[in-house]
Structure 1
């Protein structure tokens, strides 16, 4: 196999899997549904001898398999597999065998399968240099669950009230700095804004104060540690890996200094860092500073970049749907005509805007595939999924199934309105934030953030997209639009509604 093919295969795993690794850490501690369907229980059993092999997608090449089609357009290739083979099919990318589970019933099996059958830890060892030793995928599943469980109190209602204020405030400062009119590269702008919001809400004010003084640069170097060799040989001393390791030490030093100062001064702000500083394991042991750093990086990686991408798609879709944008603005008039301030309560009332965000989650899920390793043969329906296979679900494919979503290629936030409520017809219809026991604990934070951002920006500016609507950039580790993606803005003549 050529070096280029090996590079592309590795890039596929590293880019497609890394944020699944971070996000599924948060999903592990989501709601555990007690009821299991008979079909699901039957699927999870070890296989009878006469079960069928998983059907294979036609068109693979010797050695490289379906890699050329996947590189051209992975979602089109996977969608073709569903049309030709149904909810379960296999394909090869280079030397690796994959099986895609598609549709609500297949998702039911995938999300509920125990760790000794579909295992994430076996796939995501390359995250250890970033998250650190003793946390996340360097910890036992029980310890991982315990660590992430410490974060639940920091997402309670009182914290969300404070987060809504911070999100609005950061976006107002961002909008004020834009001036009267101009042009922004929207993905870059949303990344910058969400780093500010996430660092302040999820980690602490002290980290937010360092965003422009070194933290953002270190965070970027950590992101660059996601690469081909890093997937297979995460400890190989390449230039990118040395930069990654230096950045990890810089972040650890910054967080340790902040924690030391808090202990010295007795300060106890209401944030994730402080929640972890107060936390104790079941055996009574406190978390070390490095464990706290690793968990905070997990949270930041899981939430920030995916939110930035989804915020970008939301703005783009609203700009090219003027009639629905008018509905969103009418709703803003109703909500803020008297209240003025953006609050948790006001954001909850903005149903039309939330449905636009959820429709962008459906059409443009930041993670187009989630991956687990099959540790021992399992049965789904009449088919064997053999050990060693990489099992996948693809939100990008499943969210466009015509028997689940009407006219699935069309941007139509109204599909979430009663009586249609298309996402409610099955528990696993919409899986942008996972499903079942894997529902992301930060889902409501993400919705709140995106609604706060676009409430302020739509209140302040009229927006224009002068180029064709951008295609997805499947070469990126989280699927945003092709860049540059420039949006023109002009400050609105009407007085601002929101403060």
Structure 2
């Protein structure tokens, strides 16, 4: 018996030492009632399925629930992945500013590859992708933007000249048609706009319908929508290959984005872009801009017609601009429209088309919340932030769910006073939207012409959000009664 007891002493000592170590660790972590560096809290989920069900009921609903329960940093397990959310400018700085080696896009946006095509954007290494982004930047210089705006004005004036003296229209549908017209003219080229518009528009529609929520997880799933997407992608490639070859043979240059891509050259590879790359870059450009512009145009109008106190200042600005410049509309004239710009910006704050931005984390990093809690986000997590949720944080924006363009007026500037990345409708940092100026100019052009020529009244209920779309837009029709007005300067 004594031998048995003596044999147990080492085990007791070991267990006691382990218990002591655990207690000391807990004291160190929770000393003073505050956490030191630790992993983010994890949302309660069902095993295996994880947080998939939380996403099914809606990302914004899920974010609101977990933010209220866990704070501005938390992890949701989705199948085999850990998705860590960073909500608010205090914790999202690294998300926007990190080097590609630390946090990258490629792994989380692979679902775009079947649509954009091989060899472009998320199907290439970072160094090549950065060169391709340079092609976009060079295609959107101020000089080129000025010529694009001239095309936008021509297309919009022609489009609205076909409206009658009065009538009723679905504004959402009208803007969708107009945006694809202006995009065809500015981005795809005159050959498409004049001769192939219906064919190309129909093919882009099939591409768009082939990007479904399930496509994010299973982009190559053999379903009818994906098969139609793939056929449309091949047909578009044939159309653009023919156009590119004809341009090269004729030697005639065109002032559009397609020409900019044809003329682009890789510095690291020492060669020009291929026909397939030009096609993929064009598709990526159209996808990036088409939905943003049509959705923002529709929300801007819906709010201005519903929140009637903000329409008179917008009209007064148009009148003042016309008194200075007459009927002339160009890049410089549009740049003077600060009141209209703030209305568009506020519509985008409330309804950014992309509700989630994603990155793949390659290295551990730490964030500190407003409350002083520090968390370490482990590598291999998918890191996410939400423009739709972060743009409505009440400690940044007063009455955040209310449309109020004056929050961006000089002296108030709620989006900048709270610090960088307080307004993220266009993303920010290393991967901010390259087409932001193009989008603002496109929407300003449309609304300048509408406001100068028509009185508008929203006759359908204020629109709801279509949460079922990949790019979150406007649900249902937006019916408007219009009547031609005398020129504002009369």
TM-score, scaled relative to structure 2: 0.86
Q: Distance in 2 between matches of 1:230 and 1:85?
A: 30
Alignment partner of 1:311 out of 261, 279, 297: 297
Which of structure 1's runs of 4+ aligned residues deviate more than 6 A? none
Name the residue aligned to 1:18.
none
Name the residue aligned to 1:398.
390
Name the residue aligned to 1:456.
449
Shift of 1:65: 4.3
Alignment partner of 1:173 out of 136, 158, 172: 158
Name the residue aligned to 2:352.
365
Secondary structure in 2 matching 1:200: helix
Q: Distance in 1 between matches of 2:125 and 2:489?
A: 50
Shift of 1:84: 3.0
Structure 1 residues 389 and 161: alpha-carbon distance in aligned structure 2, compared to 1, 3 A threshold = same
Deviations 1:304-333 (A, max 9, x none): 112111111111111111121111001100
Asked if 1:407 is matched to 2:385, the reply is no
Alignment partner of 2:415 out of 423, 426, 446: 423
Shift of 1:478: 1.2
Deviations 1:143-175 (A, max 9, x none): 011122123232222222222221122112221
8 A contact 1:461–1:489 mirrored in 2: no
Instruction: Give the 5 Å matches for 1:231-310.
Output: 231-282=216-267, 283-310=269-296
8 A contact 1:196–1:211 mirrored in 2: no
Name the residue aligned to 1:491.
483
Structure 1 residues 409 and 51: alpha-carbon distance in aligned structure 2, compared to 1, 3 A threshold = same
Q: Distance in 1 between matches of 2:216 and 2:355?
A: 18
Name the residue aligned to 2:117.
132
Q: Looking at both structures, which has the greater relative contact order when contacts are Cα pairs under 8 Å and sequence separation is at least 6?
A: 1
Name the residue aligned to 1:354.
341
8 A contact 1:181–1:488 mirrored in 2: no
Alignment partner of 2:133 out of 125, 148, 170: 148
Q: Distance in 1 between matches of 2:379 and 2:100?
A: 13
Name the residue aligned to 1:26.
none
Root-mean-square deviation (CA), in Å? 2.1
Q: Distance in 2 between matches of 1:386 and 1:422?
A: 32
8 A contact 2:458–2:481 mirrored in 1: no
Range that drifts further, 213-222 or 95-104: 95-104
Shift of 1:71: 3.8
Structure 1 residues 184 and 61: alpha-carbon distance in aligned structure 2, compared to 1, 3 A threshold = farther
Name the residue aligned to 1:116.
101
Shift of 1:83: 3.1
TM-score, scaled relative to structure 1: 0.84
8 A contact 2:466–2:475 mirrored in 1: yes
Q: Distance in 2 between matches of 1:190 and 1:494?
A: 23
Secondary structure in 2 matching 1:182: strand
Deviations 1:398-455 (A, max 9, x none): 1111111122111110111111111222221111111122221211111111111111
Structure 1 unmatched runs, 5+: 1-49
Secondary structure in 1 matching 2:240: helix
8 A contact 1:148–1:295 mirrored in 2: no
Secondary structure in 2 matching 1:214: helix
Structure 2 unmatched runs, 5+: 1-35, 369-373
Q: Distance in 2 between matches of 1:128 and 1:427?
A: 31
- Give the greater-gyration-radius structure (CA): 2
Shift of 1:68: 4.9
Name the residue aligned to 1:476.
469
Deviations 1:117-136 (A, max 9, x none): 32211112222222122111
Asked if 1:225 is matched to 2:214, the reply is no
Q: Distance in 1 between matches of 2:165 and 2:80?
A: 54
Name the residue aligned to 1:435.
428
Q: Distance in 2 between matches of 1:97 and 1:467?
A: 42
